[in-house]
Amino acid sequence: MNFLKRGFLSITRKKGKSLILLAVIFILGNLIAGAISIQQATGNVEKNIKERLGAAATVELDYEELDTLSDEEWESIEFEDIDIELIKKIGELSYVKYYDYSMATHLGSESMESYQGDNEDEDFVSMGPSMDFMLKGINYAPVIDFEEQKGKLIDGRVFTQEEIDNGTSVAIISKKLAEKNNLHVGDTFTLENAVYDYDDETGDEELITSRDVVLEIIGLFEPQSIKENEGDSSDHGMIDFMNIEYQNTVYVSNEIVASENKFNWEEYSKVDEEFAEMIEEEEGSFEYYTPMFVLNSPEDTDAFVEEVTPLLPEFYTVISAADQYDSISGSMESMSKLSKYVLIVAVIATVLITGLVVLLFLRDRKRELGIYLSLGERRGRVVGQVLIEVMVVAFIGITISLFSGNLLAGQISDTLMKADDKNSSFEDVIYYSEIQTDLTTEDVLDSYEVNLNSSYIIGFYVIGLLTILISTVIPLIYIVRLNPKKILM
């Protein structure tokens, strides 16, 4: 009789042993399926979230390192600035797609109202210049915020490089700010650069001088990354603040911001001798630029950080968009590690337990196998018969556990994420970074989904069947060593 036919007949005739083997493989298969499913789901979350975060990076002070310094060390520190030459050198690296560097300052206005949200109190009256308008300087004419989908130009145009280089008095403002003040593309508006003297003892302030900053609107933008409020959330306060701040942002060239800062410092130095001495010591150089580098892909982040770090002054570090994911992905990291350990344990357990079950079954069939060998059946064909018996049962058990394991993984991961979310601590100190996102832990959890797909199915079958094959091959050494004469005596 053909050994293939004998293998299938053995499965159906010895139903009890086949069912025991099926149950063992089904239980262990659920563990393997669940672990693979969670591994794949967490990997997809990381990939998708990092794509949403983008491939931006900046250079700023390493506040974590500064927190470790003693008071004596603080007194001896002399911080170096990130100058334009260094920014350009970093921007020329092969990993960088495009880059920008900017200055910023806040101005007020007597004639223009700031945007304070869609639900602002209409009876609120601002007394004097509000200083609510952030003048954001840029050097990259297409505006890097628009390129990276933080905002979208909906009317007008972006800057020309000539306007950026010459400091032309043109600006791009938000659509809501324009609507609140009945402004359109081509109109002009006036901000006020006011210089105040502050009395440290009384806390009173006195207007020293001021000058108007007249700008022509060349474009209107709308924010793209700020979420709409939905229900109650502890994050809504921060999201509202970010939205209001961005709606009141006025894009101009760096030259305009530098000019207004210079005016402010020079006028203030006339009434503050200490400040005047500080300006003289610094030789009038108070241009602080914040760089922003957009990389070719998120995968370039590690190589970019490794190459840039040696170029930076002391106490500076590279902050990337990927760091934002690391700060909110605690649940994913925990589940990824747990599923990795479960997968390793499940594979080892499958090899040991399945191998032991097969070995016990083979010992019970010692006489049957001895008869086959004594009748001249080759050992390879006997081994093939046993492999067929085990692998057919294993295929059925793995197929069933494919679905149940996936369902089990979904239930377990939901429970783990909810428990981790309840136990999350928000006591860490949070520093402001140029790279900000409204992405939250809730977004990470929402993007997590355990489902059946081709890569999961293929991966599970490969790992599952390969594990069963290994666990079966080891006991088959028993058959190879069988002596049919001794068995039948």
Does any domain span residue 417? yes
Does any domain span residue 77? no
pLDDT in tens, 309-341: 999 988 899 988 777 666 666 666 777 787 788
Q: Is 439 helix (H, G, I), strand (E, B) or coil?
A: coil
CA-based nearest residue to 126, from 144, 112, 145: 112
Which amino acid, residue 83?
D
pLDDT in tens, 93-131: 999 999 999 999 999 998 899 998 776 554 444 444 568
* Final residue belonging to a domain, choices 233, 255, 287: 287
**Judgement on whether residues 246 and 377 belong to the same structural domain of the protein:** no
Is residue 425 over pLDDT 50? Answer: no
**Judgement on whether residues 336 and 247 belong to the same structural domain of the protein:** no
**Judgement on whether residues 350 and 417 belong to the same structural domain of the protein:** yes
**Judgement on whether residues 281 and 348 belong to the same structural domain of the protein:** no
**Judgement on whether residues 353 and 438 belong to the same structural domain of the protein:** yes
- In this structure, the number of other CB atoms found within 10 A of the CB of residue 429 comes to 7
End-to-end Cα separation, the chain, in angstroms = 24
Does any domain span residue 347? yes
Does any domain span residue 66? no
CA-based nearest residue to 304, from 315, 313, 317: 317
Does any domain span residue 299? no
Distance (Å, whole) CA 135 – CA 171: 9
- Domain count within the chain: 2
Does any domain span residue 222? yes
**Judgement on whether residues 345 and 221 belong to the same structural domain of the protein:** no
Does any domain span residue 98? no
For residues 342 and 371, the model is more confident at 342
Is residue 232 over pLDDT 60? Answer: no
Q: Which domain holds residue 10?
A: 3-50+330-488
CA-based nearest residue to 246, from 229, 230, 224: 224
Half-sphere exposure of 35 (CA within 13 A, CB side): 19
* Final residue belonging to a domain, choices 252, 287, 322: 287
pLDDT at residue 1, rounded to an integer = 53
Question: pLDDT-derived band of residue 283, with 50, 70 and 90 as boundaries?
Answer: low
Does any domain span residue 155? yes
For residues 134 and 69, the model is more confident at 134
428-436 — which CB contacts under 8 Å span 24+ positions? 429/67, 431/63, 433/58, 433/60, 433/319, 434/58, 434/60, 434/290, 434/292, 434/319, 435/56, 435/57, 435/58, 435/292, 435/319, 435/320, 435/321, 435/323, 435/324, 436/242
**Judgement on whether residues 35 and 170 belong to the same structural domain of the protein:** no
**Judgement on whether residues 275 and 339 belong to the same structural domain of the protein:** no
**Judgement on whether residues 114 and 211 belong to the same structural domain of the protein:** yes
